[in-house]
Amino acid sequence: MIFAIYTLVIAFAALNAQTATDKVYIRFVDRSDSTFHLIRLEDPGYQDMTPVESRWIMLGYLSEDDIIDPLSPNGEPTGDDIVNPFVIPIEGSIKGQVAGGALFGPAEYGSPFMPGFAIVTQEHFGKYLYIRVFNATSISKATKYIVLKHPHLVKAESNPVILDIFPDIGWDTEQVWKWIQPPNDLSED
């Protein structure tokens, strides 16, 4: 199963080899079940072999520096960070959306985190890429997110770029699930 997926990844990369210098396909994976456990902190019923309609939405972001800035209460990136402007060619996708959403592999392989690619175009090479996973299937329904701890410097390199989240990148686990707008913000007015 895993082998088949990686074969597909390689085939996909070969198809795109001619564009390797103007777009980089970057995939953050977790071959362990660590990410799955973080997701289950928020929803104990989140399934591996996640059905398409229940996969939580993920967005890619770009930062000028190597510091991941927080989201504002209205869900927008702050500081020098932006949503990755690339829109994947899948109907209904929004800016920055990572193909496939929060998809996990089967339990017998340890429920690995197997999302699709964040695609960064040449004009953004030299910036730092990171991803957020939101706690809903759409941004409008999301109240919280998890975010990587360290971003990845994007440069021209051979596609695809497969990055293991652990041990070097990590999720920011100081507070795993961060509110977009904390509930006490709503009650203070």
Q: Which is nearer to Ca ion, 68 or 98 (CB)?
A: 68
Give the gyration radius of the chain's Cα atoms.
Answer: 16
Of these, 62, 81, 104, 132, which contacts Ca ion (CB under 5 A)? 81
Residue 67 binds Ca ion (CB under 5 A):
yes
Residue 79 binds Ca ion (CB under 5 A):
yes
Q: Which amino acid is at 5?
A: I
Query: Smallest gap, in angstroms, from Cβ of residue 49 to Ca ion?
Result: 35
Give residue number: closest CB to Ca ion.
63
**Nearest-CA neighbor of 77 among 122, 124, 130?**
130
Q: Which is nearer to Ca ion, 62 or 88 (CB)?
A: 62
Q: Which is nearer to Ca ion, 67 or 156 (CB)?
A: 67
Q: Which is nearer to Ca ion, 29 or 180 (CB)?
A: 180
Query: Smallest gap, in angstroms, from Cβ of residue 77 to Ca ion?
Result: 8
Residue 127 binds Ca ion (CB under 5 A):
no
Choices 47-55, 74-82, 88-96, 157-165; region in contact with Ca ion by CB under 5 A: 74-82
Choices 8-16, 76-84, 131-139, 142-150; region in contact with Ca ion by CB under 5 A: 76-84
Total residues in contact with Ca ion, by rule CB under 5 A: 7
Residue 80 binds Ca ion (CB under 5 A):
yes
- CA-to-CA distance for 81 and 147, rounded, in angstroms? 13
Residue 63 binds Ca ion (CB under 5 A):
yes
Residue 126 binds Ca ion (CB under 5 A):
no
- CA-to-CA distance for 81 and 177, rounded, in angstroms? 20
**What residue ranges bind Ca ion (CB under 5 A)?**
63, 65, 67, 69, 79-81
